[in-house]
Amino acid sequence: MISAIVRDGIDKSVAGGLVGIATAFVQESIEHMIPWMIVSAAVIICDLACGLRKSIIMGEQVRFSRAVRRTMGKMVTYFSFVFMVVMINKASGSRYDIDMYSCLMVCFLEMCSIISNILKPKGIELNIVEAFRLIFGKTLKVDKEDIKEVIKEEKK
């Protein structure tokens, strides 16, 4: 009887201690996550604004519900991604800055979309794949003719 009471008390103490540790871990992660979420939201909203501007200039039909739905989908995806990488970074002891590099990658992807939305109405298409080939091929002595593939002007 007494051993059952002691065992129950130990179980509750361990559970209470784990809840405290888990709460502190999540709280630290959320505090670290907030700036990255603000940056992600700002970049996503800029992409929405540039996408709407591009559609209006090019005479495409703009449906508010569709634009907002796509933007909310991006926000959910990117916020989930930020949440995941911040938790991984905290769990690894913040040694590798996984969160910073991952969030900068997300911002880079959105910036490519923003630049594309700005250049598209002017008839300029930015080829990101060729840009990467040029950047990584720079160390391998890329010919100047290869640069022409990075930016293409569309014929109207």
Domain that holds residue 149: 123-156
Q: CB within 8 A of 135, min separation 6: which ones?
A: none
Side chain identity, residue 137: G
116 in Cβ contact with 126 (< 8 Å): yes
Cα separation, 78 vs 32, whole angstroms: 16
107 and 132 share a domain?
no
Please check the confidence at residue 14 and state whether its pLDDT lies above 70. no
Domain identity same for 76 and 142: no
Q: Do 129 and 113 reside in the same domain of the chain?
A: no
Clarify whether residues 20 and 41 are in a common domain.
Answer: yes
Q: Is residue 62 scored above 70 in pLDDT?
A: yes
Q: Interhelix angle for 98-119 vs 2-57, to 10°?
A: 20
pLDDT at 25: 80
| DSSP secondary structure letters along 1-25 | -HHHHHHHHHHHHHHHHHHHHHHHH
Residues 79 and 149 occupy one common structural domain: no
How many Cβ atoms sit within 10 Å of the Cβ of residue 21?
10
Q: For residue 61, is pLDDT > 60?
A: yes
Contacts of 144 by beta carbon, 8 Å cutoff, 6+ apart: none
Query: How confident is the model at residue 83, as a pLDDT?
Result: 87
pLDDT band at 32 (very low <50, low <70, confident <90, very high): confident
Give yes or no for residue 6 having a pLDDT over 70: no
CA distance 95 to 70: 34
Q: Are residues 100 and 138 in the same domain?
A: no
Total of domains in the chain: 2
Residues 138 and 104 in one domain: no
Residue 69 has pLDDT above 70, yes or no: yes
Highest mean pLDDT among 11-15, 45-49, 96-100: 45-49
Side chain identity at 9, as an amino acid letter? G
Tell me: do 104 and 132 sit in the same domain: no
Q: Are residues 42 and 107 in the same domain?
A: yes
For residue range 88-129, what is the model confidence (pLDDT) as tens digits?
A: 888 888 888 888 898 888 888 899 889 989 999 888 888 777
Q: Is the pTM of this model over 0.75?
A: no
The Cα 113–Cα 83 span in angstroms is 22
